[in-house]
Amino acid sequence: MLIKDFYKIEGIDHSDGQVSAHIKLNPDHEVYDGHFPDQPIVPGVIQLQIIKEILEESLQQKLRLQFASNIKYLAMIIPSQSPMLEINIQYKSMENDVFQASAVIKTGDTVFLKFKGNFIASE
């Protein structure tokens, strides 16, 4: 789980199938040593993990990504330039403990990621 080291939740609101969270990135995290030393950016897989963890926090249950039907990386997240991020998730509970979700990671008017896919409850 990345929540305690890679980023910190500064605020989270959850109501009727919507989650809005504000997080602060740790620009000194060791992952940037390899991604990339001269130009640190948040890896795409970590962006997906953040969405999953924010949804888990809101639903108070463990999830795993079942599938992603659409992922669009629209801009690089450079932690020194954009240390504060807003994550907006809309989700719908489906049959068999599946949650259909769409999410956006952004700061101000800059959208970094758009995601659509399903998460499933896991143990």
Q: What pLDDT, on a 0 to 100 scale, did the predictor assign at position 60?
A: 95
Q: What pLDDT, on a 0 to 100 scale, did the predictor assign at position 44?
A: 96
Residues of the chain falling short of pLDDT 70: 1-4
pLDDT in tens, 32-53: 988 888 899 999 999 999 999 9
Burial class for 71, CB neighbours closer than 10 Å (0-12, 13-18, 19+): middle
In the three-class reduction of DSSP (H, G, I as helix; E, B as strand; rest coil), residue 53 is classed as helix
**Range list of β-strands (E), the chain:** 7-15, 18-25, 63-73, 84-93, 98-107, 110-121
φ, ψ of residue 26 in degrees (nearest 5): -95, 100
Q: What pLDDT, on a 0 to 100 scale, did the predictor assign at position 1?
A: 56
- Which domains, ranges and CATH numbers included, belong to the chain? 7-121 (3.10.129.10)
Q: What pLDDT, on a 0 to 100 scale, did the predictor assign at position 3?
A: 62
Q: What pLDDT, on a 0 to 100 scale, did the predictor assign at position 123?
A: 74
